Amino acid sequence: MTSKEFPASLAKGRSLERTTSSKTIFSNVMTGLVFACALLALIPLIALLFYVITKGAVRLGPQLFTQLPPPPFPRTSPQFYSGGFGNAILGTFMTVGIASLISIPFGILAAIYLSEFARDTKFASLINFMTNVLSGVPSIVMGVFAYGLIVLTTRSYSALAAGFALAILMLPTIVRTSTEAFEAVPNDIRQASVGLGASGYQTVLRVLLPAAIPAILTGIILSVARAAGETAPIIFTALFSNFWNLDAGRPTATLSVLVYNFAITPFANWQDLAWSAALVLVSLVLIANLLARWVTRKR
């Protein structure tokens, strides 16, 4: 290298100009692709919410929550905007409440057994496998099972049969989330409790359960949100009713079945009620998910 070439090469080596490598280009392209896919995934959700809100907000009012479904009316009738679906809201809370009373205790007790008394055993592995299989069974199969077990036995559609079908749907989610919640509690806490003289059951009830409650509540809320929107099991078990009902042994109306029944009719006022019921149902599911996120953050 000559004396004239040396300063030029030295100046080039010290240059602050950056050279774009192939790895940097690939990283930027993949980042942009992932961002675009995320936006595309949000489009159906935003479109769905926009359509449900614009269609369902037309009939929003106090009468929706306090009145019964009206007869079919033409648009020119002064009673076109009358009526509501208060009985369906009451029936939804009734069926989901029955399902919660059945599934929550059994789910938490099963999670305690799997995580604290049978951890890393073949029996626990079998139960976990069956729970995963049960979570993938279509909801209509649960409805047929509850129909054959309860409806045919009692010879009556009922909210109790619907609650039983929904409880089966809720059970896998509660068991899995509760098991993970108990397993996430550090072993130091267990050892400290036992070291202070507490028995196994006292450790579970007074130490581990309070520590795992936030995660357990999250799983319960998510399972309740799923059960509230199910339609197929309710059709096979609770059927439908156009009247108020507080008897768990009789057919009852729910929001999901009301949306299905009214949306396929040719009557405009019933179709509007179906859109409003869909908006209320989506709002309930959204509130449940926001509540689950709030509980997780509080944890």
pTM for the predicted model, two decimal places: 0.83
Question: Domains of the chain, with CATH numbers?
Answer: 86-298 (1.10.3720.10)
Report the C-alpha gap between 37 and 57 in whole angstroms. 30
Q: What is the mean pLDDT of residues 19-31?
A: 81
Residue by residue, DSSP assigns 9-68 as HHHHHT--PPPPPHHHHHHHHHHHHHHHHHHHHHHHHHHHHHHHHHHHGGG-STHHHHSP
Residue 257 clears pLDDT 90, i.e. is over it: yes
Give Dmax over CA atoms of the chain in angstroms.
104
d(CA 297, CA 39): 25
Angle separating helix axes 139-146 and 159-183, nearest 10 degrees:
130
Chain segment 148-177, per-residue pLDDT in tens: 999 999 999 999 999 999 999 999 999 999
Percent of the chain with pLDDT over 70: 92
